[in-house]
Chain A
Amino acid sequence: MARVIPDPERRGALFSAYLDGQLTPAEVAVVSDLLDGDTEAIAEFRALMGVRRAVRLLPELEVPPHLLPDGHLGDRLSAYLDGELVTLEHRRVTHHLVDCVDCRSELHELDRARIAVRSLPGVDMTATGEMPAVPAARFRRRFVAGSVAAAAAVALFVGLTVGGGDQPAFSLDDLGSRHVARASAEPGFAVLPPSMEVALP
């Protein structure tokens, strides 16, 4: 295939667009050819890379808060945690969470309370069957329940001793994808083999 050597202006524009990931595969191949052993081209490429990086390293400025509306999520947060939001609303909430420290922090608090409630032992053994709302309430209610609590404690003891039914509900897949997602935010991570499934023997 005949190789077309672009004029210097077009060559530079190709390099620049290459750095931005904006080339077609055919153009990418041209760039690769141009860089192959041509020291002048490589020098130009590196200079453009440096300029691009310098602009991208400009610190991101915080927008003065008074310019933005106070549109926090309120009760949508609980619905979000419980998976009760329909798709569009769910996406609005997630988009908001990405940018809003206050709502993230509130979400976190709600999540902790929710986890505390969910991890109560033996609750389904109580006569009322009602879940207390916060951990502080659980102590009081348990001992108001008196003999029911004693029965629950025995059941719990058996459960703990035998060790069944209290397995954490996650897989290594869950853990692995979370680690990979977090690690991929570090500089350079994405150049590494990030994640894959291996058929183990």
Chain B
Amino acid sequence: MIIRRIIVVGGLAALVVAAGASTARADDLSEYLEDAGNAIYSGQRLVGTTWDGIERIGMIEVQHHGGFESVDAGSVNAMVGAGRMYMDGLDDAAISFVLRSTPNLGARYTVENGEATRHLGRPATVLDVVEAGKLRIRMVVDDSTSAPVATQVFDAEGEVFRYSSMVDFSVWVDPSMAQTDGREYRMMLPLDHVDLPATLAGYQLIDAYAGPDDGRQAFYTDGLFSFSVFTTERRANWAEIADNELPYTTGGRDYLRVVTPTSVWVLWNAPAMAVALVGDLPPDHLDHVLAELPHPGTENWLKRLWRKLFG
């Protein structure tokens, strides 16, 4: 099955808000993120990723209000927030039971105040998120609304690999936007246990869910970026399932990769399982995470048969 759509996942988990005076002493990343969730704005957002010469750009119409963001990317409309996702054109949306993760994971990053600037003629503040002495994200936050109006995410070499910029900005929002009453959604069933590491290269396993089909989903975050690892005990023909996948080799191992303007997919078959990783993590983080997950490979057919028959 060739799908015609690629869902691009929530890019920069980082776009944060600055509340002028309070930013001077606030160094808690999650507090910035919390504030950003309350911002009210709308506009057009240009997003893009450049990764190993692959370039993906997208333009999205966004409305941000009441902790939800509604997104119009031409052929699809979606509304996301508070553990729920509603997407036109799909039968289901999903809901997570977990309303927020408890660990404070912002310790990996520090936030530094930058200078005053302007974006689209509006007063704004530059904020830098620094990881181990290196700039990881530079963001521009609109002073009056706390909306993140521009961001750049840097890779290990200090190059911008992902960016996002409001090219049109307004404090107007459609108040009917956040109406989700009456819309059906699909439950995600939480799992007590999943056979994956509790931490992966600095990312923490927060929780896990059953599905889709007989698969499992494990959700990891470091407080800023996040990804999910999907596993299923059947091997998958990813080339058929995915669209626009390209070979990707890291650490001497071969994967398939799909780069989108705001996220990355990595797909492979490990012995006894198919694995898909999707998230917004930077290239160097991705490579470290992949090194700690089951590696690509095939299983001896006799072992496979034995496992299938006898568990």
Contacts and interface: CB of A to CB of B under 8 A. Distances in A.
A64 interface: no
Contacts of A119: 214, 233-234
A188 B80 contact: no
Interface string A155-188: 0110011010011111111111111111111111
A170 B20 contact: no
Contacts of B147: 191
A31 interface: yes
B241 A28 contact: no
Contacts of B81: 184, 189-190, 194
A104 interface: yes
A29 interface: yes
Specify the main secondary structure of chain A where it touches its partner.
Answer: helix
Contacts of B78: 180, 194-196
A128 interface: no
Nearest to B72: A196
A193 B38 contact: no
Given A21-B178, A167-B234, A176-B278, A46 B22 contact: yes
A189 B219 CA distance: 14
B80 A108 contact: no
A135 B147 CA distance: 52
A176 B178 contact: no
Contacts of A198: 6, 8, 56, 58, 73, 260-261
Nearest to B310: A139
B222 to A, nearest CB: 11
Contacts of B209: 178, 182
A168 B85 contact: no
A195 B168 CA distance: 19
B135 interface: no
Given A181-B95, A185-B83, A190-B64, A118 B214 contact: yes
Given A195-B78, A198-B56, A104 B8 contact: no
Contacts, number: 330
Nearest to A198: B58
A188 B185 CA distance: 22
A112 interface: yes
A175 B83 contact: no
B60 A193 contact: yes
Given A160-B308, A168-B214, A188 B71 contact: no
A43 B143 CA distance: 11
6 contacts: A46-B21, A115-B210, A173-B90, A176-B278, A179-B227, A198-B261
Given A104-B189, A168-B214, 20 more contacts: A21-B40, A28-B171, A45-B144, A46-B19, A49-B19, A156-B305, A176-B6, A178-B209, A178-B211, A180-B78, A182-B217, A183-B10, A183-B228, A185-B99, A190-B82, A192-B10, A192-B15, A192-B164, A193-B45, A197-B7
Interface of B: 1, 3, 5-17, 19-22, 30, 32-40, 45, 47, 56, 58, 60, 62, 64-69, 71-76, 78, 80-85, 87, 90, 92-101, 122-123, 143-145, 147-148, 164, 171-175, 178, 185, 187-192, 207, 209-215, 217, 219, 221, 226-228, 230, 232-237, 240-244, 258, 260-262, 265, 274, 276, 278-280, 301, 304-305, 308-311
